[in-house]
Structure 1
Amino acid sequence: MDDEPAENISGGDAGGGRFTAFDGEDADTRAAAVVAELGDLYWEKTYGGRDAFECLVRTVLSQNTSDVASQPAHDALMERYDAPDGDLAEALADAHRDELAETISSAGLYNQKSETLIRLADRICGEYGGEDAFDAFVAEGDPEEVRGALLHMKGVGPKTADCVLLFAGGRGGVFPVDTHVHRIARRMGLAPPDADHEAVREALEADVPAEACGFGHTAMIQFGRDYCTARKPACLDGPEACPLYDYCDRVGVDELAESVVDPADAA
């Protein structure tokens, strides 16, 4: 695949970055080998350079919904509030909640998300003086300090914080964990079957080379859509149906019974 699909809100044009080459020949863990295979199957990219506050906005809109639903909400928000010479954070801090909720309604949970975005914008303006200074903090600050600051913002969870670090800050060694990554890593045996999102992140970041974590995240999401779905993974159609079959423990997948349960329940 030459390009990331636009509907992959964690990558594609929204993720920015540049295509690069990754040498997976020396992969010394199964997780590293899996990511190398994903890179060959999809794409290998180095991320970074996106506006940090817009990345924060985009990721909040994507929470608990599909990219198909959140992308139009993001586009509508940017069209209404992002003036060419303005400050998006200032514009959202001053936004009327009902108007913002209507603008982002396609993303679902729009009342909650509009409150979150206004609250975050107000904090960015008050604590950093606007989106430019916030961008600089994300790009230049100590990664642990940046992550800690993001996690102290109400409405920002680990995945949102990690996406900002990756796509805006360009930080290597950051492997955001969404529902696809959480499912696949445990199903394949790359993390314990009962691991929560943070434990999966720690396992992947420990076992995947820093320069491969970014595209490991975006390519694994695409793999989850194309092959390793929640209810009917491709392996149920036989070993030849899944390109990563030989790397996978298939925890929670019974190929004979053609049944699938969450890896934690299988354990």
Structure 2
Amino acid sequence: MSDDDREPDVNISGGADGGGVAAEFAPGEAATRAEAVVDRLGERYWQKTYGGKNGFECLVRTILSQNTSDVASQPAHDDLVARYGPVSELATNLADIGHDELAETISSAGLYNQKSEVIRDAAAWVLDEFGSTAAFDEFVAAGDPGEVRETLLSVSGVGPKTADCVLLFAGGRGGVFPVDTHVHRIARRMGLAPADADHEEVREALEDAVPAEKCGFGHTAMIQFGREYCTARRPACLDDPEACPLADLCDQVGVYPETGELVDPADAAEAD
């Protein structure tokens, strides 16, 4: 794996230092089109097994990433850990600080007032339910995945994508394909999920169609693909139908290179 192909440091998984190890799999004969997409992305980007991140830090990092870019949320995470770390004491320290102080610390992440409340509540919840971040980490890594997911979803401000990221990046669980805005857009645009599918329906479609050991990699690689090629406002195929490395695997739902028109896949399905 060349340096150019390594996972970017500025993303939710934390790059080379974010836990997990580089992994390789032979693409072989894909059983589904979604698996073929993931295999093709493997030739362009990188492959990695996940796990090993501190569970509570991963929870906080994912909350910070909600509705903003990694470029904005990463500095907020770094400032928070520098001010209230070490990581082993993060929950205790965050549960005791005031809202305004935390909001100021994470202001670069956007929606800082809302995220401050969610993070403080999550810290108090971890300590109340598990007694320590170490016990919470063990629950995330060794507990029944369905139970872990449902438990995380019971926390105010923690949605499916956040819960799935904790399962993947901290728990190292196979078969978990978190769905953010990039994955939601691309899966429907390519026809890998129904055009009108919500985030949970996209997740179910991808987890059913992609082998468990490829789901985590598929998530992070698809995000990178969405940033570079299948962007929200101007996918590469609009300018050059042959510019996209996945063109032969894509249904182009809502994308019309002939006219340059671009609509949400759900709207395109309704028009048809």
TM-score category of the 2 structures, normalised to the smaller one:
over 0.9
* Alpha-carbon distance, 1:100 to partner: 0.5
How far apart in 2 are the matches of 1:245 and 1:154? Answer: 40
1:185 maps to which residue? Answer: 187
Q: Take 1:123 and 1:53, find their aligned partners in 2: how far apart are those partners?
A: 11
The question of 1:147 aligning with 2:155 is answered no
Equivalent position of 2:44 in the other structure = 41
Deviation at 1:11, TM superposition (A): 4.6
TM-score if structure 2 supplies the norm length? 0.96
Residue 146 of structure 1, CA deviation: 0.2
Is 1:73–2:69 an aligned residue pair?
no
Partner letter of residue 27 of structure 1?
A
Q: Does 1:133 find its partner at 2:128?
A: no
Structure 2, unmatched stretches of 5+, are none
CA apart distance, 1:238 = 2.2
1:218 match: 220
- The AA in structure 1 aligned to 2:138 is A
Match of 1:119 among 96, 115, 121: 121
Q: Which residue of 1 aligns with 2:11?
A: 8
Aligned positions of 1:152-231 closer than 5 A: 152-231=154-233
Aligned 8 A contact 1:11 1:218 in 2? no
Secondary structure at 1:241 match in 2: coil
Gap runs ≥5 in structure 1: none
| 1:17 maps to amino acid | G
> Alpha-carbon deviation of 1:175?
0.2
Instruction: Report the CA distance between 1:14 and its aligned residue.
Output: 5.9
| Whole-angstrom distance in 2 between the partners of 1:24 and 1:148 | 33
Deviations 1:121-154 (A, max 9, x none): 0000000001100000000000000000000000
Percent of aligned pairs with the same amino acid: 71
1:21 aligns to what SS in structure 2? Answer: coil
The answer as to whether partners of 1:8 and 1:222 remain within 8 angstroms in 2 is no
Indicate the residue corresponding to 1:59 in structure 2: 62
**RMSD (Å) for aligned C-alpha atoms:** 1.1
Render the CA deviation track for 1:14-56: whole Å, top value 9, x for unaligned.
Answer: 6421111112112110000000001111001110010000000
For the 8 Å contact 1:53–1:89, the answer to whether it is kept is: yes
Letter in 2 for 1:251: V
Report what 2:25 is aligned to. Answer: 22
